[in-house]
Copies of this chain bind each other. A is one copy, B any other.
Amino acid sequence: MHKGRLEAFSDGVIAIIITIMVLEMKVPHGGDLTALRPLLPVFCSYVLSFIYVGIYWSNHHHLFQAVKHVNGAVLWANLHLLFWLSLFPFVSGLMGENHVTTLAVVLYGVVLILTAVAYFILCRVLLAGHASDSALAKAIGSDFKGKVSLVIYAVGIALAFVGVWLGIALYVLVAIMWLVPDRRIEKALAS
């Protein structure tokens, strides 16, 4: 089974997810500064979510470059990943509400964790169909960064009950960790 259509379909879904998030920024009636102020948290939330979805697209892109063949299990593991990604517009909108609630930050973290777990499952399902010395196995490696991310998300959720900004700060930290080019950060974290 060719991977072309799976890539094209994933590109389509991720492209839509990353774009419809902007619809949460409802155009206000009356375009003065007072009317726009409530949109500032929505905008910040949008930026963070855009970066996260961008990270997943970029990682998905890298991952599938090393993939040789796909099967039914890969199709569904991929759809499972897309499902959790598709909840980003919702939790992003929720966290962008003017008065940030603990629940919104916790839910955002839960979606972050479940998306990361779905990505982890996708990697396992792909590895099951490839040799242990394949380019794919090397590309995935020990997935140190992925495991560290899961821990930070969990800590972020716990800290959100102390203060919402602590939770958000940890989510931002993980995003930065993935944005900075790979080798250096991995060395820094492993040392």
> Interface of A with B (CB < 8 Å)?
1-2, 5-9, 11-20, 22-25, 27-33, 36, 47, 50, 54, 57-58, 61, 65, 72, 75-76, 79, 82-83, 86-87, 89-90, 93-95, 97, 99-101, 103-104, 107, 179, 181-182
Contact = CB atoms under 8 A, between A and B. Distances in A.
How many chain copies?
Answer: 4
A48 B167 CA distance: 31
Contact of A9 (B24, B28, B57, B79): B57
A103 B2 CA distance: 41
Nearest to A7: B5
B22 A15 contact: no
Contact of A86 (B9, B18, B90): B18
A13 B21 CA distance: 12
A86 B16 contact: no
A13 B9 contact: no
A129 B20 CA distance: 32
B16 A16 contact: yes
Nearest to A27: B93
25 contacts: A1-B65, A7-B8, A11-B12, A12-B16, A13-B15, A13-B19, A20-B23, A22-B86, A22-B89, A23-B89, A24-B27, A27-B90, A27-B94, A29-B97, A30-B99, A30-B101, A31-B95, A31-B97, A31-B100, A32-B101, A36-B103, A54-B76, A54-B79, A58-B75, A58-B76
